Amino acid sequence: MSKLLCETLKNLTHKSQQIKKNNYLDDFFTGHIFPSVAAVYPLSNRALILIDKDDRILSTVSHDSDLEELDLTNRFFSFSESNSKMHKLMIRYDKATLYLLKNIPTALNSYGYSLLLISESDIPEAFSDLSRMSESLENIAVENEKQNKSHKELLNYLDAVDDGISACDKDGNVTYINSSACKLIGADKEKVIGENLNNPPFKDTILVQIIKSQKPQMDFEYDLYYSGKRSHLMNSAYPVFDDDGKIIGAIDIFRRIKRSYQIASNMAGHRASYEFNDFIGSGPKLQNKINLAKEFSNINKNTLIEGESGTGKDLFSQSIHNFSDRKAGPFVAINCANYPIDLFDSELFGYEEGAFTGAKKGGKSGKFELAEGGTLFLDEIGEMPMQLQAKLLRAIETKQITRLGSNKTITIDVRIIAATNKDLEKMVERKQFREDLYYRLKILYLKLPPLRERREDLYELCEHFIEQINPEMEIPVTGISNEALDLIRSYDWPGNIRQLENILSIAMFMSGGGILEISHLTQAGLECQDGDPYFKKNLEDSSLDILLAALNDNGYNIKQTAEDLGISRNTIYRKMKKYGIERK
């Protein structure tokens, strides 16, 4: 560019002590879009200038080097002010000609901008050129705004995700981190973006490892160190490649290990679904236990529940959890009778990779870790091996555990609810259960009554189970006879509620619908108690009638009769002998 034009621009502009910020044209438009469009135009001995509404120069483009020595940015033109929409203005100054397209309207902002073309010679098509450039600028700016809006929306979506998300380029520079990730590691988003993961305050980040290996790693436990703070995470990290297969960066998705444990527990079915409102029975014995259990729920202490099989120990433990302030945490259950001692240890406390032959790669979290922040239900605690009782006692006392094959302790926050159908106190006396563990578990104690001690609830329970089973029936059961209900109330129910549900279920399918009678109950396996002659006589008559009818229907085929009645062939032979029935 000639010195003439430089001198002209210098004479027509002035500096201002106050530096204004861009208020309508963003840096991308000024620094990228305008220079790209202007560079296409022939600018030998010419200059194209972008001006804002206040006549301030935002950007200048020319093909001559002289202009670089003259810094025009933020200088102001001495034009007359005008608020009218786009109009043309040609100015001759000395030997230069200025073509000004002033107040160009834009869809992105109501203020508009101006384009100035300055040349040493006349340009007849100058204003038409400026008009075409303004249209191009507008189209590109609108498209860029759409992309920018989509980009911002995507970032907003990523910020809304509860999991942490971060990304870096192939050199380890952080290019993105969402708000959740910043909260998890205690970082400021603006400070983190641009930092290099190979340098402090970061230490041994997984993204750097992923870039080196160029292989993904999924669902692994991971300790992230940032500014001296350790965050225990569950992480998945992936390399990112371009279309040519070259690595351009890496991305990872992570969450706190506690939340991962809760998700894993829910997926494994470790979930407390029962609440106190789900219990059936308005009798005083059940209601007293429910009220006591509600009080226990608000006391964050270990609880021991004793009761016969089928009395609802599992239901009470779930209800206590759901009524407590730990209800948002996981509920993890383990049956102490289901595992041999070698498996029980690793199942309860977890193990590290390589702890034993067949150990899962990356190790495995135990039930204690899965229950972090929630409740661990130890069912059939009386079956726990003595060797493990000492380890459990230590975990309760120290609130710490150690995985199998590890020397690192893990602090736990877990409430323990233990349940048993045995008399632990007698087991302690017989040296079959540790006394110190017994009293550590029995800080809060709940003894559940068997069904024979709460006969007043039997009618409600029968109604509940009939209603629950009816949808599976072709013809629904509409009720239960008084005689059948009397039989149910006279029975001791050694299997408690579980046995009652089983008997009713079989009896309903045997009945084919309608009213449940004594005969249906006996056919389902319910027998009269000894010493009750009234029921014994009725039951024997009903049982004999049912048996004779089934034998006749099946031509005395014992196998088919047994299948029809849902009982074993030995039972058929025994009853035939009892009633003096000869096989035909």
Cα distance between residue 45 and residue 288, in whole Å: 99
Task: State the average pLDDT over residues 22-28.
Answer: 60
Cα distance between residue 526 and residue 528, in whole Å: 7
On the question of pLDDT at 312 being above 90, the answer is yes
On the question of pLDDT at 539 being above 70, the answer is no
The secondary structure of 466-535 as a DSSP string is: HHHHGGG-SS-EEEE-HHHHHHHHHS--TTHHHHHHHHHHHHHHHHTSEEE-HHHHHHTT--PPTT-HHH
- Residue 137 CB burial class (10 angstroms; 0-12, 13-18, ≥19): buried
Of 148 and 43, the structure prediction assigns the larger pLDDT to 43
Token pair for 91: 């100015």
Residue 291: per-residue pLDDT: 96
Name the pairing type of β-strands 96-104 and 113-119: antiparallel
Cα distance between residue 230 and residue 256, in whole Å: 11
Tell me the pLDDT tens digit for each residue of 445-455: 999 999 999 99
Q: Are 345 and 388 in contact (CB under 8 A)?
A: yes
Output the average pLDDT for the chain.
84
- Residue 525 CB burial class (10 angstroms; 0-12, 13-18, ≥19): middle
- Residue 499 CB burial class (10 angstroms; 0-12, 13-18, ≥19): middle
Residue 264: per-residue pLDDT: 55
Task: State the average pLDDT over residues 257-274.
Answer: 61
pLDDT band at 534 (very low <50, low <70, confident <90, very high): very low
Name the pairing type of β-strands 303-306 and 331-335: unpaired
Of 89 and 261, the structure prediction assigns the larger pLDDT to 89
Percent of the chain whose pLDDT exceeds 70: 88
Tell me the pLDDT tens digit for each residue of 175-195: 989 988 888 888 888 888 888
On the question of pLDDT at 533 being above 60, the answer is no
Tell me the pLDDT tens digit for each residue of 369-384: 888 889 999 999 999 9
Most confident of 33-47, 109-123, 138-152, 457-471: 457-471
Residue 362: per-residue pLDDT: 65
Cα distance between residue 489 and residue 452, in whole Å: 8
Cα distance between residue 201 and residue 184, in whole Å: 15
Tell me the pLDDT tens digit for each residue of 555-574: 888 888 776 665 667 778 87
Phi, then psi, of 196 in degrees rounded to 5: -100, 130
On the question of pLDDT at 551 being above 90, the answer is no
Percent of the chain whose pLDDT exceeds 90: 33
Is the pTM of the predicted complex or chain greater than 0.75? no
Residue 536: per-residue pLDDT: 47
- Residue 555 CB burial class (10 angstroms; 0-12, 13-18, ≥19): exposed
